[in-house]
Amino acid sequence: MQSLKHFLLALQFFTRIPITGALAAWVGFSPAMLRASAAHFPGVGWVVGAVAAGVYGLLCWYLPPVAGITWVAAVFSTIATVLLTGGFHEDGLADVADGLGGSHQRERALEIMKDSRIGAFGAMALVLALLAKVSLLAVLGQLSLGGALLALFLAHVASRTWPLLTIRWLPHVGDAAGSKSKPLADQISTAALLTGALWCGLALALALMGAHATAPHWLGTLQDGARASTALWWGVAGSALGWALVHGQLQRRLQGFTGDGLGAAQQVSEIGFYLAMALAMGSR
């Protein structure tokens, strides 16, 4: 029951899903609980990924089978995730881009990141990130509808797993008084890391099972399923590389992480998943 409370708290913190009234009273809140809820960030990815895949799949199923259908599905599945999360991670990406792009000095970069206004670097990063996601999801859908749905689900889980390592390995350097992520920074336990890895491992196992479905409307032949499985592994590797790029910048430029940094890591990791999987599925 305590794990369920921690999961619901993570869902409340990272999505717009209402946890109110008697349910909120039952869940409760404390900095210690928020710290423990970090283990369930990949579990939030299950919810967001399932919604994104559901919107994508339903639109591809019900819209007329014309050219460009996957672009429509990609746009609206992305809209669904932004509405569900409140653009929480996208906002973090924009702030980090403004901070790191606006100054080479650590303290000045942190100061810029606290500014709620979006600058040129943040606007460019946000637009390019959304374009990258939409275009890659459209490509994945053209290669395989089933592959796109599996990618959407697993990418949201994996991209919320890798940042747990950033919390583990780097100190928090944001404004301790005003930062909502500060309770996460004291230390993430080994047990929490293992719980996060379990969420991700179960999602990967489920996706691999789906990759071997043989119905023609899903992935086609078993050979296609095996190819999709390989592509999923490449996607996981791509998400790890995307996270590592942001983690390295946070370590080198800020000597630590902020809540915005975690959001940026999630976004780049998600894009890395789609890119690597598209490259693997499109290879001859």
The pLDDT, as a whole number, for residue 284 is: 59
* pTM score: 0.94
Q: Which residue is it, tokens 């709620």?
A: 116
Question: Cβ(236)–Cβ(161) under 8 Å?
Answer: no
For the ranges 117-126, 219-228, 264-273, which has the lowest average pLDDT? 219-228
Q: Which residue is it, tokens 């869940």?
A: 27
Q: How far apart are CA 101 and CA 253, in angstroms?
A: 11
The pLDDT, as a whole number, for residue 238 is: 98
The pLDDT, as a whole number, for residue 27 is: 85
The pLDDT, as a whole number, for residue 179 is: 57
Segment 243-256, tens digit of pLDDT: 999 999 999 999 99
**Both tokens assigned to 11:** 């869902």
Segment 144-203, tens digit of pLDDT: 888 899 999 999 999 999 999 999 999 999 765 555 555 565 568 899 999 999 999 999
**Residue 172 bridge partners (DSSP):** 257
Q: How far apart are CA 250 and CA 51, in angstroms?
A: 30
What percentage of residues in the chain have a pLDDT greater than 90? 70
The pLDDT, as a whole number, for residue 262 is: 95
- 257: DSSP letter: B
Q: How confident is the model at residue 221 (pLDDT cuts 50, 70, 90)?
A: very low
User: Which of the pair, 10 or 1, is modelled with greater confidence?
Assistant: 10
Q: How far apart are CA 51 and CA 45, in angstroms?
A: 10
Q: How far apart are CA 273 and CA 279, in angstroms?
A: 10
Q: Does the pLDDT value for residue 222 go beyond 50?
A: no
CA dihedral 45, 183, 95, 158 (to 10 degrees): -20
Q: What is the mean pLDDT of residues 71-91?
A: 97
φ, ψ of residue 172 to 5 degrees: the values are -80, 130
Segment 43-59, tens digit of pLDDT: 999 999 999 999 999 99
The pLDDT, as a whole number, for residue 201 is: 97
Burial of 162-176, coded b for 16+ CB within 10 Å and e otherwise, reads bbbbbbeebebbbee
